[in-house]
Structure 1
């Protein structure tokens, strides 16, 4: 169960790294992103597809570009991640209390 969570977090980290590259260097293509991140082309392509499905990027003839939704997502991202971290911290505290009790 924890292994699956760790894989999901790793994948989210990759998606966010790809999104950050698009924001900073748009338009940008798969080859450049792969070379700069070290991720294989197929993993970059998958991240781009996920980001496109979320309407955070869109394809152009020169490469991926941001959408109108990108800025709103980025503004909300830190708050959402903080909420998740708080949940995980709470789970950790509850786990410790159960073991001690």
Structure 2
């Protein structure tokens, strides 16, 4: 039952890792991101597509760059993760 949640968290973690790398090295392309993160290009491509469709990055002629929405997300990331941890912790048996 919780396998899907684990997969979703793992995928979200990769998307955040890619977004951080874009923010730190922008503009950056798929090949460079793949080498930098040691993640296959097809997975980088998928993460970039998800991030772009969510408005966190945009494509430029030189590569991906972050948007103000990404900067806003980074400002609240720790609090959002803490809230997720709080909710999941409540599920544990005593």
TM > 0.5: yes
Scaled by the length of structure 1, the TM-score of the pair is 0.88
Q: State the structure with more CA Rg.
A: 1
Partner of 1:79: 79
SS where residue 4 of structure 1 aligns? helix
How many residues are aligned here?
94
SS where residue 55 of structure 1 aligns? coil
Partner of 1:18: 18
For the residues of structure 2 that align with 1:15 and 1:70, how far apart are their CA atoms? 12
SS where residue 39 of structure 1 aligns? coil
Shift of 1:35: 1.1
Scaled by the length of structure 2, the TM-score of the pair is 0.94
Shift of 1:3: 1.6
Q: By percentage of residues, which structure has more helix?
A: 1
Larger deviation: 36-45 or 25-34? 36-45
Q: Provide runs of 4+ in structure 1 moved above 4 Å.
A: none
For the residues of structure 2 that align with 1:37 and 1:25, how far apart are their CA atoms? 12
Shift of 1:59: 0.3
